[in-house]
Amino acid sequence: MDQKKTGGFTTLKRIFSFTRPYRIRLVSSITLAIILAALAPVRPWLIQLSVDHYVINKLLDGLIRIFLIQIGLLLAESFLRFLFIYITNWLGQTVVNDIRQAVFRKIIHQDLAYFDQTPIGTLTTRTVNDIEAVNDVFSEGLISIIADVLTIVAIIGIMLYTDWKLTLVSLSVFPVLVIATYFFKESVNKSFHQVRNAVARLNAFVQEHITGMYVVQVFAAEQREEKKFRQINREHRDANIRAIFAYSVFFPVVEIILAISMGLLVWSGASRMLDYHVTQGVIIAFIMYLNLLFRPLRMLADKFNTLQMGMVAGERVLGVLDSGAFLQDNGTYVPEHISGAVAFEEVRFEYKKDVPVLRGISFEVPAGTTVALVGHTGAGKTSVISILNRLYEIQSGSIKIDGRDLKEYDIRALRSHIGIVLQDVFLFSGTIYENITLRNEDISLEKVMDTCRLLGIHDFIMRLPGNYHFNVRERGNMLSQGQRQLLSFARALLYNPSILILDEATASVDTESEILIQHAIEKLIAGRTSIVIAHRLSTIRKAHQIIVLDKGQIIEQGNHETLLAHKGVYFRMYTQALASEQQIA
């Protein structure tokens, strides 16, 4: 997989590159962080001023002024903090929205080889959980860390300016806090890595097993699969508990260090106050300074972990964006109509490197004719139609439609001229109308109904509650396999494609349904280039040519009568299939 180099500063830089359209918001957020840091030590300083000048000298007017200034400062700081939090989180959510859109756009334009190698649950984690963690880089990560560091610098600076000796005594335990913070950061960071990996495994496992629940239950594998899930879930729990343990130790340690710091402050301050080297106002202000100082220090390690986890998640997300499996769409040819002449010339194709599925096959399908592909499982029949749609890229040779190489066609334009009906029909959650049109609002209900009447499925749809607005639910579970298959015919034929592909399209349709649509199929195939993979003999027998595949190679080719007369592989397959159908009958 060809990926750009990511990690550390490079990852952070690339994440922040998504803020370019929102540069003003980013600058505003950083500016607010600087202003809030500068305002942090002002209130303690005003308290010091009040005690040392106005309280001691009993100046009521001055106290009232300071009180009003404090109220005004508190309101201003609260408003600025609101703006900072809102703008920072707005920036994070907007960037997350853009990144998620880019990731989904990348995913839906991948060639199918990418999905063969990448678990669906992993992609779900990348698109949802990991991108959500990227949001933390903004809301709780880098910008928040900058704000906290600036606040710490401002407070320590004013403390040193006020009384450097008292500052050094108060912060003498600071190295202990730094060491504790380091160990906490490392411990939590390791735990969070384990949590993130466990979440990805959980998502992948749940996604796969819910999809394959039928198989799990049919083979009574519930207990075995539950045991596997229990193990993955336990790993997730243990990783979280390790993180919780680190938090449980770190925060009490910080409180102890703060208490020691306060004790040193009171001891040193009281001693020096007796000698008139320190005022009461300074000690009160220093107590407030320490509380303000330890608040961001307490959370800084946690925010560094949040930043690091966001960067780890960001690196994974960028890995999806940088995937080299992206289907290259450099074609510019957008024909309004194609005749449908198809030619394969020495086409070699493999799903895995050096494991060929098609071994230099060549054949031609004249426009308006029908070719049937037959062969045993694994012969390469479905691979032929997959590469014709450019769902996968071939390794060598060429595929041409109307004399033009597939790569010259714009992919969307190419696929708009090809209709395909698969044996395994996938329906999305939604209405029958939405599934047939794939939510194309330009297609009217009347056009859909005309297509369904032509196929002979209009009556069965009208018998459903809500007819064309009947909700089929997830994966079309409210319909039978045969009904889903019939809807896939309507979906494929609605666009009046020049090339029609039927991949075992009637395999899941019962005899009555097959009789219902057979006449419509024959009408639609007439005058249209059709490539058929089918075990039903009626369609194969009427094909203009039949291609017999074995281990990715063409071993026989001709029409039905010619191949029967040859008495080769096709003859044996046909004889066996005919005997099977007679036994069923």
Distance between CA 434 and CA 451 in Å, rounded? 14
**Could you tell me the two tokens for 50?**
């009040």
Q: Which amino acid is at 114?
A: Y
My answer on whether 181 and 118 are in the same domain is yes
My answer on whether 348 and 305 are in the same domain is no
Distance between CA 53 and CA 39 in Å, rounded? 21
- Return the CATH number at 95: 1.20.1560.10
**Could you tell me the two tokens for 491?**
């979906």
Specify the DSSP class assigned to residue 528: S
My answer on whether 465 and 565 are in the same domain is yes
Q: Which amino acid is at 315?
A: E
Which residue is listed with tokens 């690196």? 315
My answer on whether 264 and 381 are in the same domain is no
My answer on whether 284 and 383 are in the same domain is no
Residues contacting 460, CB < 8 A, separation 6+: 483, 486
Q: Give me the pLDDT at residue 31, please.
A: 92
Residues contacting 304, CB < 8 A, separation 6+: 145, 185
CB 547 within 8 A of CB 386: no
Distances from the Cα of 328 to the Cαs of 116, 197, 306, 411, 469, in angstroms? 18, 31, 36, 9, 37
My answer on whether 169 and 317 are in the same domain is yes
Measured in degrees and rounded to the nearest 5, phi and psi for residue 73 equal: -65, -40
Residues contacting 148, CB < 8 A, separation 6+: 296, 299, 300, 303
CB 111 within 8 A of CB 325: yes
**Could you tell me the two tokens for 532?**
């058929």
Residues contacting 103, CB < 8 A, separation 6+: 126, 127, 131, 317, 320, 321
Measured in degrees and rounded to the nearest 5, phi and psi for residue 343 equal: -140, 125
Distance between CA 331 and CA 393 in Å, rounded? 14
CB 560 within 8 A of CB 546: yes
In a domain, 1, yes or no: no
Domain encompassing residue 496: 342-584
CB 417 within 8 A of CB 499: yes
Per-residue pLDDT tens, the chain, 585 aa: give them.
444 444 467 888 888 888 899 999 999 999 999 999 899 899 899 998 888 888 887 788 888 888 899 899 999 999 999 999 999 889 888 988 898 888 888 888 777 777 777 777 677 778 887 888 888 887 777 888 888 889 889 999 999 999 889 999 988 988 888 888 888 877 877 887 788 788 878 877 887 787 778 777 877 888 888 888 898 899 888 888 888 888 888 888 888 988 999 899 889 888 888 777 788 888 999 999 998 888 887 777 778 777 877 887 888 888 888 776 566 677 888 988 889 899 999 999 988 888 888 999 999 999 988 899 988 888 888 889 888 988 888 889 999 999 999 989 988 888 888 888 877 777 888 888 888 888 888 888 888 888 888 777 888 888 888 888 888 877 666 777 777 878 888 888 887 888 988 887 665 556 666 666 666 567 667 778 989 887 666 567 888 899 999 888 999 999 888 988 888 888 888 887 777 666 555
In a domain, 380, yes or no: yes
Provide the 10 A C-beta neighbour count for residue 214. 8
Give the SS3 label for residue 62.
Answer: helix
Specify the DSSP class assigned to residue 40: T
My answer on whether 444 and 550 are in the same domain is yes
Domain boundary among 257, 289, 321: 321
Domain boundary among 254, 287, 321: 321
Distance between CA 53 and CA 358 in Å, rounded? 92
Please name every residue paired with 499 in a beta bridge, in sequence order, or none if there are none.
Answer: 418, 529
Q: Which amino acid is at 206?
A: V
Give the SS3 label for residue 465.
Answer: coil
Distance between CA 40 and CA 288 in Å, rounded? 10
My answer on whether 429 and 297 are in the same domain is no
In a domain, 359, yes or no: yes
Q: Give me the pLDDT at residue 324, please.
A: 65
My answer on whether 408 and 556 are in the same domain is yes
**H-helix or E-strand containing 507?**
none
In a domain, 326, yes or no: no
Q: Give me the pLDDT at residue 81, please.
A: 92
**H-helix or E-strand containing 522?**
helix 511-525
Q: Give me the pLDDT at residue 516, please.
A: 61
Q: Is the entire prediction scored with pTM above 0.85?
A: no
CB-based burial, 83-118: b 16+ in 10 Å, e otherwise:
ebeebbeebbebbbeebbeebeebbeebbbbbeeeb
DSSP string, 332-360: -B--S-----EEEEEEEEEEETTEEEEEE
Please name every residue paired with 530 in a beta bridge, in sequence order, or none if there are none.
Answer: 370, 500
My answer on whether 289 and 431 are in the same domain is no
In a domain, 3, yes or no: no
Distance between CA 59 and CA 44 in Å, rounded? 19
My answer on whether 113 and 236 are in the same domain is yes
- Helix, strand, coil % (nearest 5) of the chain? 65, 10, 20
Does the CA dihedral 507-513-516-517 come out positive or negative?
A: negative
My answer on whether 167 and 81 are in the same domain is yes
Helices (H), 17-108: 23-39, 42-49, 60-108
Q: Give me the pLDDT at residue 243, please.
A: 82
Beta-strand runs (E) in 417-467: 418-421
Number of domains in the chain: 2
φ/ψ bin of 545: left (φ > 0), alpha (ψ from -120 to 50), beta (otherwise): beta
Distance between CA 479 and CA 472 in Å, rounded? 7
Beta-strand runs (E) in 246-312: none
Domain boundary among 289, 321, 353: 321
In a domain, 298, yes or no: yes
Beta-strand runs (E) in 148-258: none
- Return the CATH number at 468: 3.40.50.300
In a domain, 330, yes or no: no
Helices (H), 322-422: 381-388, 411-416
Give the SS3 label for residue 361.
Answer: strand
Distances from the Cα of 509 to the Cαs of 321, 422, 504, 518, in angstroms? 40, 12, 10, 11
Candidates 396, 421, 379, 392; CA nearest to 505 is 421
**H-helix or E-strand containing 510?**
none
In a domain, 334, yes or no: no
